Structure 1
Amino acid sequence: MPEPAAVRLDLPGSAYLPDEYVQDSGAKLEVYRRFAGIRSEADAEALRAELRDRFGPIPGPVEGLFTAVTVRMAAEAAGVPEVRVEPGRVTLKWARYARQQVVSALTLAGFRPVAGSNQVRIPVAAGHDGVDVATRVLTALAGGVAGL
């Protein structure tokens, strides 16, 4: 099975392995490889359990890596190569869909997209988690465009 195209993510928060959590550089490199190889929620949960067993409770920056993996998988499923989450909005860039397909799918899913030629912005209301909104939008896009 071919590797999915790389997804570019710009998410808020920290996403890394702190030196205090994984001290050995070889182990750290292997854990980063494992993160890069995650292709399913089951893979993510297996790595999460292994990290807890080997290194202890998962710190915030490592949770950030899991969040990034979740968004990456959703973007891959939706065929979206770039995801940016900023205060008040989520921006997705794509190459594989027609503008109207994206707008229709997201509107049917209850979002209010503002589309350009190859990107769409979705407003994020104050107090809502932009990363959660991005994941829901990507999931809706993956299912919605296929159904159009």
Structure 2
Amino acid sequence: IPDSYVQNPQTKMEIYKKIAGVQNAEELDSVYTEMTDRFGPVPEEVSSLLSLAQIRIICRKLNIASIKEHNGIAAIEFAKVSDISVNKVLRLIAESAGAVKLNPSKPNMIFLNTGKIGLKEKSEFIREKLEKII
């Protein structure tokens, strides 16, 4: 959170805690509304932070064990007990024009080709793809 958006360090820490504690979309919306009411439109850095919180919510819904990104590839590992729709995953792969792939040697993972984009775009790309398999 940039100092130009929230100057007070204590207030900034409170906001970080609220964002970290978000458990569902309603709570995230509430934090977003509170921030815009108190401090005005959120800057790109805060938008990225909120997008990451949204990804955490989706990860809980889909039982995702981890997301690791390296060299423009995001590896999404599902927990052994994930309850995802194979049809939704296959549709996502078909519609992705090669951006979403499987690896037969890692059957509990999907791979997203994020390319060389910024953090905000990357988090939005990952969120968008994960939302399609909820």
Equivalent-residue separation in structure 2 for 1:60 and 1:54 (angstroms): 17
Matched, 1:139 2:131: yes
Counterpart among 89, 93, 103 of residue 106 in structure 1: 89
SS at the partner of 2:61? Answer: helix
Alignment of 1:1-148 (within 5 A): 17-85=1-69, 88-97=72-81, 105-109=88-92, 110=94, 112-115=100-103, 116-117=105-106, 118-124=108-114, 130-142=122-134
Question: What's the % identity of the aligned pairs?
Answer: 20
The letter of the residue matching 2:9 is S
- Unpaired segments of 5 or more residues in structure 2? none
The two structures have a TM-score, normalised by structure 2, of 0.70
**1:92 to partner: Cα distance:** 0.3
Task: Tell me the alpha carbon deviations over residues 35-68 of structure 1, each in whole angstroms, 9 at most, x when there is no partner.
Answer: 0121222222221121122122211111111110
Shift in alpha-carbon separation, 1:86–1:130, aligned structure 2, 3 A: farther
SS at the partner of 1:81? Answer: strand
Equivalent-residue separation in structure 1 for 2:12 and 2:116 (angstroms): 36
The two structures have a TM-score, normalised by structure 1, of 0.65
Equivalent-residue separation in structure 2 for 1:125 and 1:104 (angstroms): 25
SS at the partner of 1:31? Answer: helix
Count of aligned positions: 123
Shift in alpha-carbon separation, 1:20–1:123, aligned structure 2, 3 A: closer
Equivalent-residue separation in structure 2 for 1:93 and 1:64 (angstroms): 22
The letter of the residue matching 1:83 is I
